[in-house]
Amino acid sequence: MRVTEKMMFETGRVNTGLARTKLEQAVAEVSSGKRIRHPSDDPAGSALLTRARLTHDRFEAIKDTVGRASDELNIAEGVMGELSNVVQRGREMAMQMSSSQFGPDDRAASAQEVDGLLQTLVGLMNTEVAGRYIFGGFQDGVPPFDANGGYLGDAGVRQVEIAPGVFEPVSLRVDVAVKGAGGGVDIPRVLSDFAAALRSNDIAGIQGALEGFDSSLTQVSAARMDAGASLNILQTAEQVSMFGRDHMKIQLVEISETNLAESATRLALANTALEAAISATAQSFRFTLLDKL
């Protein structure tokens, strides 16, 4: 096939255009510091960049969620500590009022303090954090305990993602820890029965309350231990998610940003390639013109 001048011109134009495009890309890379500015710059690298961004954002979201859950669980653990003090005070009163040193009037007066302990328990169990009642299970929009210590919540346990695809419980089942679901003791009932025994000067009932208070302390202690164990897991998860986020941040830089020395080399090569393409095209036309002389 005869190579015409038009074909030579078209080939030269294409080669020169390609060389100019590569030079422009190299110049942009050096000036911006970004190796990938558009997906077409490096399709494979762009896919890796997208994946790294998604992973970075997921770790960031996990860190934030775990942090909020840790704050809430810390509050819950503190509340259970206050509840333990309430139960312990009830036990101390049961020990005192069992003694023959105290009479009916003393016990009736003590019953008022026990009523106050019950209301303190209700107030503690109706703790609200950021507009949510944290002891109502999934029923977190209304107070979970009524004035008599009745439970209005459910058995739901909230969970948060602590690692991609891994979830950890972050709320306490007070239907178990406080109301004794599953075979335990109902702490509000222990208090109210104790108050009734004091008012009626029922020595046997007062002494019997000691067993209920001991079981109550065991239940509350178990709930606090569960909260502490979950807090340890959440703290570890927050550290791991921060490490993962920071690692992906480094990956993003490595994938998207250019190495100055490498970019300078690519710029020099692109410039040389463009000069060579222009020179080759000009040389071809010079030979064509010489043939016509």
User: pLDDT of 41-74, one tens digit each?
Assistant: 555 555 566 666 777 778 888 888 889 999 999 9
Q: For the chain, what is the mean pLDDT?
A: 79
Per DSSP, the three-state class of 185 is coil
Name the band, by pLDDT with cuts 50, 70 and 90, for residue 40: low
Helices (H), the chain: 5-32, 43-97, 104-125, 174-177, 187-199, 203-256, 260-292
Q: Is residue 156 within 8 Å of residue 140, measured between CB atoms?
A: no
289: confidence class by pLDDT, cuts 50, 70, 90: very low
Q: What is the C-alpha separation between 223 and 174, in angstroms, rounded?
A: 8
> What is the phi-psi region of residue 201: left when phi exceeds 0, alpha when psi lies from -120 to 50, beta otherwise?
left
Length of the chain: 293
Q: Which residue has the higher pLDDT, 289 or 219?
A: 219
Task: Note if the pTM is more than 0.95.
Answer: no
Low-confidence winner among 81-85, 135-139, 190-194, 248-252 (lowest mean pLDDT): 248-252
Lowest mean pLDDT among 72-86, 178-192, 194-208, 245-259: 245-259
Closest by Cα among 158, 220, 157 to 188: 220
User: Would you state the pLDDT for residue 257?
Assistant: 58
Contacts of residue 205, Cβ cutoff 8 Å, sequence gap at least 6: 193, 194, 196, 197
pLDDT band at residue 99 under the 50/70/90 scheme: very high
104-125 helix and 187-199 helix, angle to the nearest 10 degrees: 160
Can you tell me the distance from the alpha carbon of 135 to that of 154, in angstroms, rounded to the nearest whole number? 9
Residue 291: predicted pLDDT: 46
Mean pLDDT of 203-224: 96
Angle at 91 (CA atoms; ends 89, 97), nearest 5 degrees: 100
Give me the phi and psi of 229, to 5 degrees please: -65, -45
Which pLDDT does position 236 carry in this prediction? 86
- Which of the pair, 173 or 261, is modelled with greater confidence? 173
d(C-alpha 133, C-alpha 143), whole Å: 6
Q: Which two tokens stand for residue 220?
A: 């509350």
Indicate if the pLDDT at residue 272 is higher than 90. Answer: no
DSSP β-ladder status, 128-129 and 132-133? antiparallel
